[in-house]
Amino acid sequence: MKRFASYILYTLLLAAIACACSDRLDITQNYDFEFRTMPYPARIVQGETIEIRCEIVTAGNYAGTRFFIRYFQTDGRGELRLDDGRVLTPNDLFLLTNKVFRLYYTSQTTERQNLDVYIENNFGRVVQRSFSFSNETVRGEE
């Protein structure tokens, strides 16, 4: 009788394990991410180029994730380019090839300049960062 009870117990245990398992895999592809920068100069002279060191930090890693960059200049005038030499045009998406990259901004005005830079992934998640530069006149021109 004990042997029969143990067979029933093992059968019930196997049935419970089989019912608890699922054949569906839960794979996360869309992770949160941050757009970080190193400190950069807040003052700029017309014609000067400044470097902004950037990094995308993700909460997890999925090999199929791609990141894109776009920007919009709300005040002033200037040129923004990536470290690979590509000149960015406002509101156009550009594929980022690395999570660590550099932006180069060249001032083309003597006014205050404001940029909004957007990083988005191929799953539609977007992170925005604003940059502001005030004009500095060259000494001797004052």
3-state secondary structure 68-112: EEEEEEEECCEEEEECCCCEECCCCCEEECCCEEEEEEEECCCCC
Where are the domains positioned within the chain? 33-135
* pTM of structure: 0.75
- Does residue 122 register a pLDDT over 60? yes
Look at residue 64 in the predicted model and tell me its pLDDT.
82
pLDDT per residue as tens digits for the range 68-105: 999 999 999 999 999 999 999 999 999 999 999 999 99
CATH fold for domain 33-135:
Immunoglobulin-like (2.60.40)
Query: What mean pLDDT is predicted for residues 119-139?
Result: 86
